[in-house]
Amino acid sequence: MQKLLKGLIGSLLLVGSVFATNGNATQDREAYNEYLWFKVFSEVYLIAKHYYVQEVSPKQLMINAAKGMVEKLDPYSEYFTPDELKEFQEDTYGEFGGIGIEISMDKGRPVVVAPIEGTPAYKAGLRAGDIIVEINGEDTYGMSISEVVKKIRGKPGTYVELTIYRPDEKRTFKVKVERAIIHVTPVKWTVIEPEHIGYVKIVQFQPDTAEKLKEALKELLKRHVKGIILDLRNNPGGLLSQAVAVADLFLPRDKVVVSIKGRVEERTYKTSHPALVPPNTKVVILVNRGTASASEIVSGALQDYHRAVLVGEKTFGKFRVQNIIPVEGGKYGAVKITTAFYYTPKGRMLDKKGLTPDIEVKMTQQEWKKLYESLKEERIKKHIGYNEPVLNRNLDKQLQVAIEVISGKYHPKGESTNSTSSTGVGR
């Protein structure tokens, strides 16, 4: 065994000496020498197999290697074991056990992209941007997304304790969240009176989202609403096909919704039907930091065509396309990997930057907390479930501005109420 280790170390030193003596040109060539790096990998594998303090199966070593290889690429790519793949598919199709949050990774720690409305995480007061420092007392630093998800999940009715760091408030606190089977109702709607404005909340882009939205819009148009507010705040995204289908309801036929460009795929998605919502119907989209991925596709497309005014705060900035590629037909899991970037119709790629709203209306954490508590009390008082929207325009500054935009009463700060301003809605 000692002889084997000496041989392995000698090979590694030889590789290192090549780097040290041949300069940048050689290093560039070696960076793409697959034979060399498979050899290095095999030697590292043998060291781990034979010298780690406890015996580890080849299966586990290779799973560890696959996870490390893919998950180091970006915060969204990962290797799934068969069990993890099943859990991921349950997430995507709208019914699963857990607490109801979308997470990404940043600097080695899980970050809340958005709590899904009506879920235990939402009810517990988690916010977009919250950093999960510990799960049941265990430090999350260095965990993969799959590991985080697995530790948060558990039997419905049991609790998971999360230690949260909230950057905006610069404070750390613990919160206990009850696990539950998550049933996601993708679309909720109502009519705001006395302005008679349609309000639609899209919670998540799952397989039936566009169809449910179509039903809601038809009902609102029957009622001759004066405009439509599409609320995409804290919507973590979902299926690309549904984002395109949602945009299709607002844009004319044959309009580019989104383009994807990468090394192995390049495609443009266009609308295929006449718009359901008439072009003279004003549309405002509410966005915030929890607006991500598919939500940004819809928001970006309608903003580019001046079909909607974006009101709120800068969005999350996830403009990446992930594909699921099965390993051995799925028998050994799959790889979820970023294969391309999204581009809006005008060619904007805002990954890690996010969409800037046309009208910026910031809300502090205290304002969000006050709004959330008021909505929670209203639901309890009037026995309203999470399948229906509850609004408070007095505390929701972003909603109030959206109402004013559609009503033609919005005036930027410092502008005279007698002056006119173009919002670009319904052009």
Out of 1-5, 143-147, 346-350, 400-404, pick the least confident.
Answer: 1-5
Is the pTM value of this prediction over 0.75? yes
pLDDT score, position 27: 67
Sign of torsion over alpha carbons 69, 70, 75, 81: negative
Q: Considering only residues 119 and 163, tell me which one the structure prediction assigns the higher pLDDT.
A: 163
| Rounded Cα–Cα distance for residues 406 and 396 (Å) | 16
Among the listed residues 67, 201, 318, 336, the single catalytic one is 318
| Rounded Cα–Cα distance for residues 12 and 14 (Å) | 5
Among the listed residues 248, 304, 358, 396, the single catalytic one is 304
| Rounded Cα–Cα distance for residues 192 and 389 (Å) | 11
Mean pLDDT of 134-144: 93
Q: Please determine, for residue 288, whether its predicted confidence score (pLDDT) is greater than 60.
A: yes
Question: What count of residues does the chain have?
Answer: 427
Q: Considering only residues 417 and 46, tell me which one the structure prediction assigns the higher pLDDT.
A: 46
Q: Is residue 293 among the annotated active site residues? A: yes
Q: Domain 187-407 classified CATH 3.90.226.10? A: yes
pLDDT score, position 225: 98
The tens digit of pLDDT for each residue in 370-386 reads: 998 898 889 888 888 88
The tens digit of pLDDT for each residue in 200-245 reads: 999 999 999 999 999 999 999 999 999 999 999 999 998 999 999 9
pLDDT score, position 185: 86
Domain ranges of the chain: 2-56, 95-183, 187-407
Q: Please determine, for residue 427, whether its predicted confidence score (pLDDT) is greater than 50.
A: no
Among the listed residues 77, 146, 259, 293, the single catalytic one is 293
Architecture in CATH for domain 95-183 = Roll (2.30)
Q: Is residue 6 among the annotated active site residues? A: no
Q: Please determine, for residue 51, whether its predicted confidence score (pLDDT) is greater than 70.
A: yes
Query: 111 and 129 in contact (C-beta within 8 Å)?
Result: yes
The tens digit of pLDDT for each residue in 292-308 reads: 999 999 999 999 999 99
The tens digit of pLDDT for each residue in 311-357 reads: 999 999 999 998 999 999 999 999 999 999 999 999 999 999 999 99
**What dihedral do alpha carbons 223, 226, 230, 233 form, nearest 10°?**
-120
Give the up-direction half-sphere exposure of residue 317: CA atoms within 13 A in the CB hemisphere.
10
Banded pLDDT at 277 (limits 50, 70, 90): very high
pLDDT score, position 415: 54
Would you give the end-to-end CA distance of the chain in angstroms?
76
Q: Is residue 374 among the annotated active site residues? A: no
Burial 318-327 (b: 16+ CB within 10 A, else e): bbbbbbeeeb
Q: Tell the residue number behind the tokens 């197999």, with chain if given.
A: 49
Banded pLDDT at 24 (limits 50, 70, 90): low
